[in-house]
Homo-oligomer: A and B are copies of this chain.
Amino acid sequence: MTDYINIYRDELLKGVIPFWEKHSIDRENGGFFTCLDRTGKVYDTDKFIWLQARQVWMFATLYNTVEQKSEWLNIAKQGADFLLKHGMDSEGNWYFSLNREGQPLVQPYNIFSDCFAAMAFGALYKAVPNEEYALLAQRTFGNILKRRANTKGKYNKAYPGTRELKNFALPMILCNLSLEMEHLLDKQLVDELIEDVIHEVMDVFYNQDIDLILENVHLDGSLSDSFDGRLINPGHGIEAMWFIMDLGVRQNNAALIEKARTIMMRLLDYGWDQEHGGILYFMDRKGHPMQQLEWDQKLWWVHLESLVGLSKAYAYQPNEEVKDWFDKIHNYAWTHFRDEAHGEWFGYLHRDGSRLNELKGGKWKGCFHVPRGLMQVWKTLEKSEKRASKNSQVAPADN
C-alpha cells in the first residue's frame, strides 16, 4: 500500500486542488462557483449551501492538516464571508441555495446545509481563532440537535402516524460532525452524542438479520417493507463505517473498529456490480424494482468513500482482503472517474462505466469528496507507514 501514498498526495495537490483554486472562486460576489464543466468553465452560477460550506471546510482543513498556505486560508475565509453574509435566515437556519449575488433561492428545508455549515466554521476556527466562527458553529450545531426529530419542519410531507420512519443520514453525519466539532463542544455532550449515534448506526440502521445498513427503518428500529424501507445505499453505509472507525480509534474500541470493518466489507461485496464493475448507487433489499431511476449508476463519491474506508481498515490492521479490495476500487476509480487532461474527477457514470455527463461540479458535486478522499487516503497510509517503520526500527532493539 506504500506506493499509494505519493499517488494520492500528488493527485490531491497537483490534479485536484489547483482545479478548484483556478476555476471556482467568484471574485466578484464572493463564495464559490461549483457548476463547472469538464474544463472548469462555469455553466451555472447558483450557490448551494452544502457545497459552499464543504469547500470552506476543505480549504480550512488543508490549511490545518497539510500545510499552512495563506492562499488556502484566504479561499476558506472568502467562502465563509459569503456564507456569513447571505447563508442564513433570521433564525439562523441555513438556506438550501442562493443565487450568485447571495439572495436566497430555496428555503432552509434541508438540515444538511446546517451540518456542513457547522463543519465548515468548526474547521475554520481551528485555523483562525475568531470567536464569531466558534459561536456560529456552536449555535448551528445546537440548532441541528433541536431539529433532529423533524428535520424538514413544515416542509415535511409525510402524513403523521401512518408509517413513521427514521432516516439514516443524520445519525451518520453526526458520527463525523461530532468529531469534527469536538474542540468546540462540551465534552459530556460529545460523549453522550457519540454513544447515541454509534448505537443508532450500528444497532438500529445496521440490521443484523439481513446484514445490511438500511436508509430508513420504523421508529422502533424494525424493518419497513416499503420503497423507503427497502432502500439500500451501499456507498452511504461504507462512508458511515469509516466515520465509525474514527470513533473507534477515539474510544480505543477495537471491537467497534472490527465490526465496522466487517460491515464495510459486506457492503462492498453486496454493492459491487459483478457484471460491469463499480459499486451500484441504490439497491432494494428484496431485489424489487426501484423508484430511483439512477439506481445502477456509478457515482464518484461512493468509490472515494470506499477507498477511505479501506485505507483506514488497512492502516488499523493490515490484511490481504482489504488490500485486494483497495486495489480493485482504486483501479476502477482511477480508470473511470479521474480526468488527467483537465483535473478533478468525473462524477457520474452509466452502469456500463460510460460517462453520463462530464461535469466536474454541479448541484451536488463540489470541492469535497474527491479532495477529502485523496487527502484521507494519503494521510491515513502515510501515518500507518510511519508507525510501521518506527515499529520496525524499534523492534530489533526490543529483541
Could you tell me the distance between the alpha carbons of A379 and B275 in the complex, rounded to whole angstroms? 44
Report yes or no: A288 in contact with B159, Cβ–Cβ below 8 A: no
Chain B residues positioned under 8 Å from A162 (CB to CB)? 99, 103-105
- In the bound complex, residues from chain B placing their C-beta under 8 Å from that of A158 are 105-107
Are B357 and A290 touching (Cβ within 8 A)? Answer: yes
Complex CA distance for A163 and B227, rounded to whole angstroms: 33
Which residues from 103 to 128 on chain A have a C-beta closer than 8 Å to any C-beta of chain B?
A: 103-107, 109
Separation of A357 and B159 alpha carbons in the complex (Å):
29
A96 close to B (CB within 8 Å): yes
Q: Which B residues are in CB contact (< 8 Å) with A362?
A: 289, 291
Q: A44-58: which have CB < 8 Å to B?
A: 44, 46
From A173-181, A185-193, A293-301, give the one contacting chain B. A293-301
Within the complex, the shortest CB–CB distance from A332 to chain B, in Å, comes to 19
A26 interface contact, C-beta 8 A: no
Q: How far does the Cβ of A153 sit from chain B's closest Cβ, in whole Å?
A: 10
Judge whether A363 is part of the interface by a CB distance below 8 angstroms: yes
A43 touches B109 (CB 8 A): no
CA of A394 to CA of B4 in the docked complex: distance in angstroms? 84
Asked whether A154 is an interface residue with its Cβ less than 8 Å from the other chain, the reply is yes
Q: What sequence of 0s and 1s flags, for each residue 139-171 of chain A, a beta carbon within 8 Å of any chain B beta carbon?
A: 000000000000000110111001100000000
Q: Which residues of B contact A35 (CB under 8 A)?
A: 288-289
Q: Does A348 contact B (CB under 8 A)?
A: yes
Residues from chain B with a CB closer than 8 A to the CB of A259 are none
> Mostly helix, strand, loop or mixed at chain A's interface?
loop
* Chain B contacts for A159, CB-based, 8 A: 95, 103-107
Which residue on B lies nearest to A98, using beta carbons?
B162
8 Å CB interface, A31-89 against B: 35, 37, 43-44, 46
B163, A99: Cβ atoms under 8 Å?
yes
Residue A358 at the chain B interface, CB threshold 8 Å: yes
* Cα of A43 to Cα of B348 in the assembled complex, Å: 29
A369 at the interface (CB under 8 A from B): no
Instruction: Determine if A350 is an interface residue (Cβ-Cβ < 8 Å).
Output: yes
A252 adjacent to chain B (CB < 8 Å): no
A157–B113 Cα distance when bound, in Å, is 14
A96, A286, A293, A295: residue with the most chain B Cβ atoms closer than 10 Å: A293
The reply to whether the CB of A226 lies closer than 8 angstroms to some CB of chain B is yes
Chain B residues positioned under 8 Å from A364 (CB to CB)? 291
Q: Which residues of B contact A359 (CB under 8 A)?
A: 289
Contact A293 B105 (CB under 8 A): no
Say which residue of B291, B297, B358 sits within 8 Å of A289 (CB atoms).
Answer: B358
Cβ B107 vs Cβ A157 within 8 A: yes
Cβ 8 A contact of A288, one of B44, B95, B157: B44
A351 at interface, CB cutoff 8 A: yes
Q: Which residues of B contact A254 (CB under 8 A)?
A: none
**13 intermolecular pairs with C-beta atoms under 8 Å apart:** A43-B286, A43-B289, A44-B225, A95-B159, A99-B162, A99-B163, A106-B159, A289-B357, A291-B363, A293-B293, A293-B297, A293-B348, A296-B356
Q: Contacts A44-B288, A289-B362 known; list 16 others, CB within 8 Å.
A: A43-B286, A43-B288, A99-B162, A103-B162, A105-B159, A106-B159, A107-B158, A155-B157, A290-B357, A293-B293, A293-B297, A295-B356, A350-B350, A350-B351, A351-B356, A352-B352
